[in-house]
Chains A and B, each alone.
Chain A
Amino acid sequence: MKKIINRLFQSILTMFIVSVLCFALVKAAPGDPVLTYVEPNMSEQYIANLRESLGLNKPLSIQYFLWLKELLHGNFGHSLMNNRPVLSQILERLPATAILMGSSLILGFILAIFLGLYSAKHKNGIFDKITSALCYIGISIPTFWFGILLIYILSVKQHILPSIGMHSDGVNTIPDLLIHLLMPCAVLTFVNAAQYIQYLRSSTITELSSDYVTVQRAYGMRDSAILFKHVLKNAVLPMITVLGMSIQSLVSGAIITEQVFAWPGIGQLAVTAVTQFDYPLIMGITLFTAFLVVIGNLLADILYTVLDPRIKKANC
């Protein structure tokens, strides 16, 4: 319990730092914010009053809290590009990113269980060596280049898969979505699953050399039974933390993947916002994404604490 409260406190602190950072981003944006409200026939006095009512004359710390209050009410401001509310723009992009990131996370996890366990069981075998070489390529390959190569092979040369977007024109079916999802998901999974596989391999090797495995073997239990009945449980549990921490790198990967495949998610919106210098939108996306990452980390840690009896015992 104490650990969870500690983590909660830490998450709040992180969000505080993020919010200060975002506030600095808003303040660092070029241009006088009052100008977005000014119309040609306004008098000097009116503009001065406007400035006063927007709180722009107050000290920075007060301005920060006023800004924070607006945020907590869901008011992220309006985009400079199309004057639409920032939050609704982000929320309409959220499903696309969630589908891409979620499918890669799950697929990577399943892959890691099979490849990690198998490599660990047949340590230094040919399969293990191929897997670890692929993992090396996975963490070293430029994500966007891998995407371009796949587009060239599967879309330009072979015409098997559509190269960009989330839906074909006018079609809104699940099979169509899956066909479009295939390449981006493969790219993101390939660059992201390496860390899961490496982790699961090494934790399985550690588990396999522990005493209880030797005892089970001595009782004549079959290796595969030990692996799936006991080792898997102990090796997979810490994976929850690894998955939580990987959200951060998953976001990086998703930004790049979305850009290459024109996947209409938050990452693509972020790059557009930056190239258009749309400061309110930039601030909104940073804050929103950071919030999701922090929450994801927190949930992973809480889940791990709740599920792992060893930690529970240590805290009592």
Chain B
Amino acid sequence: MSENLLKNIKVGFKGNKIAVIGATAIIILTLASIFAFLYPIAPNAISVTDRLTAPSFRHPFGTDDMGRDYFTRCLYGGRASLLVGFMSMILSTLIGVVIGSISGFIGGKIDALLMRLVDALMSLPTFLIMVVMNAYFDPGIKNVVLIIGFLTWMNIARIVRGETISLKEREYVIYSMASGQRKTQIILQHIIPNIMPTIIVSATINIANSILMESALSFFGLGIVPPTASWGSMLSKAQGYIATAPHLAFFPGLLILITVISFNYLGEVARKIFQPK
């Protein structure tokens, strides 16, 4: 299974330059934000003489209103943004897979009930509810992850349910059921490994959306708030300097766009690899 997966991925990337660029961009951004501490200028080093300077050789992204190097601040901001993206994806995928596989495998009334719940949640203005939730929870990385994770699992649940139902009819699953294996074991051993490709596709696109949602919440001053910075909260501050220092607004937004577009494109590539027409 895993060897096969690796081979498929190789074939999918071969000759697809944009996919390679996207994957490289994500890897570079992730490594850069993890190893941001290696950069010689500290993110909190204040310099009164260098306030709001334009990008230069010394400060590739310029400086902010307190004379801090904006490049390092963007790297550290990426930590929060990428972390929220990954963690929310893990949470929502976990919820989606559990609910989807239970719903599809058990069927009957439980399935009907869970799917009506999913329908209802999917027809809600999700982003508005995320905004609203911020009036009830303290801002911070943990709560943003919880809010986004608990409101974005429905799509994954629906897809996993569909795949589970079709797998349930396969001989090996029927055989395991006849031989008296426990249902949880069948789901874990036979169902989930076989729908892994589908899960990967949804999860990749889920990261992209989570990062967008986090950035929008933080832009409103709701998600991630100072002293922690994310690309979204940096943009929130930058909006006030749009006339004097437009570079403050330009770079974090560009980084969000590059990250999100890469994840979206990789999701599409993954779909083509795993679900050839």
Contact = CB atoms under 8 A, between A and B. Distances in A.
Interface of A: 10, 13-14, 17-18, 25, 28-29, 136-137, 139-145, 148-149, 151-152, 156, 248, 251-252, 255-256, 259-260, 267, 270-271, 273-275, 277, 279, 282, 285-286, 289-290, 293-294, 297
Listed residue (A14, A293, A294) with the most chain B CB atoms within 10 angstroms of its CB: A14
A252 B264 contact: no
B125 A289 contact: yes
A142 B258 CA distance: 10
Interface residues of B, number: 43
B229 interface: no
B160 interface: no
Nearest to B116: A13
Contact of A251 (B121, B125, B243): B125
Contacts of A286: 128-129, 132
B216 A13 contact: no
A20 to B, nearest CB: 10
B125 A290 contact: yes
Interface in B178-227: 208, 212, 215-216, 219-222
Interface string B66-84: 0000000000000000000
B126 to A, nearest CB: 7
Contact of A255 (B119, B128, B264): B128
A98 to B, nearest CB: 15
A122 B134 CA distance: 47
Contacts of A248: 122-126
A273 B131 CA distance: 10
Nearest to B220: A271
Given A148-B235, A148-B242, A279-B135, A252 B120 contact: no
Contact of A152 (B116, B216, B242): B242
Nearest to B254: A145
B124 A255 contact: no
Contacts of A285: 128, 132
A152 B250 CA distance: 10
Given A251-B125, A286-B129, A293-B125, A143 B242 contact: no
19 contacts: A13-B120, A17-B121, A25-B132, A28-B136, A141-B257, A144-B215, A145-B253, A148-B239, A149-B249, A151-B242, A156-B243, A248-B125, A252-B125, A259-B220, A260-B239, A267-B128, A270-B132, A275-B222, A293-B125
B260 interface: yes
Contact of A145 (B128, B136, B249): B249
B214 to A, nearest CB: 10
